[in-house]
Amino acid sequence: MTTPLTGKIALVAGATRGAGRQIAVQLGAAGATVYVTGRTTREHRSELDRPETIEETAELVTAAGGTGIAVPVDHLEPDQVRRLVERIDAEQGRLDVLVNDIWGADPLITWEKPVWEQPLDAGFRTLRLAVDTHIITSHFALPLLIRNAGGLVVEIGDGTKEYNDSTYRLSVFYDLAKVSVNRLAFTQAHELAPHGGTAVALTPGWLRSEAMLEHFGVTEANWRDGAAKDPHFVMSETPAFVGRAVVALAADPDRARWTGRSVDSGGLAQVYGFTDLDGTRPHWSRYHDEVVAAGKPADDTGYR
């Protein structure tokens, strides 16, 4: 069955670009109606000042076979989120999948500086974007999601719980942000259980987002040339890979086996059998443990 999510309603909060955009697109390819939110539209850019827009994301969802609906929302503004959920309720009467992917704090991070050398305003803004946005969105969206049993919440972060628990993430604020996202999935799993819902924390591997491709001076067509800047870039993955991981979870009638857990796209691919766009299954976490952390030279043989 190529469209297992036909008739399902999804909200991807933070779908302007990167993982959020392709999560929305892959949900659409599986047949879902997807509400895509963000702050950058064709008329207005967020402080990130990037060209990608939520309208483009919605069009990509529709082109993939679903129905994409773009709604400008600042998820730090409770009234905007409340109105968004009221609209979904009025138009669809249900919500089956909530993906909390809001972030947008990369320019605010001060890397490899101790807390006493961190700028507090930027640090607290980071936490608001990473944590407050997710809580505000869940606060308003979950009453609609639990109206029908079987709802799914996916918290998108960076690093599994196992990795983040044992790894210093090079900034106190970034560290707290990413640990918090994993914990939010754990707490929501407990709160959703009586209503037949599932909550999962999901992390991609090394993501070839639009910004990452620009950073490496490559395009998706010649991305392997980025290995000249960092040899381990050979293990990077497209944002579609984590999008397909979300689809696999949403389409799995036994998805509750994952509830409260922290998982990665490469690990789920080994279970569900989905691939990246090039037909491979990059397993970044295993590669990181066995190659990067071990100080071995870059070589993706056997990890795709």
Domains and CATH numbers, the chain: 9-292 (3.40.50.720)
C-alpha distance across the termini of the chain, in Å: 25
The span from the CA of 161 to the CA of 179, in Å, is 7
Concerning whether 174 is annotated as a catalytic residue, the answer is yes
The span from the CA of 151 to the CA of 96, in Å, is 5
pLDDT of residue 129: 97
Tell me the pLDDT tens digit for each residue of 276-302: 999 999 999 999 999 999 999 999 999
pLDDT interval class at 1 (50, 70, 90):
low
pLDDT interval class at 2 (50, 70, 90):
confident
Tell me the pLDDT tens digit for each residue of 110-142: 999 999 999 999 999 999 999 999 999 999 999
Residue 155 phi/psi, 5-degree rounding, is: -95, 115
Question: Around Cβ 160, how many Cβ atoms within 10 Å?
Answer: 20
The span from the CA of 137 to the CA of 283, in Å, is 30
Question: Around Cβ 180, how many Cβ atoms within 10 Å?
Answer: 18
The span from the CA of 161 to the CA of 224, in Å, is 29
Tell me the pLDDT tens digit for each residue of 49-67: 999 999 999 999 999 999 9
Tell me the pLDDT tens digit for each residue of 196-252: 999 999 999 999 999 999 999 999 999 999 999 999 999 999 999 999 999 999 999
Among 35, 163, 174, 303, the one annotated catalytic? 174
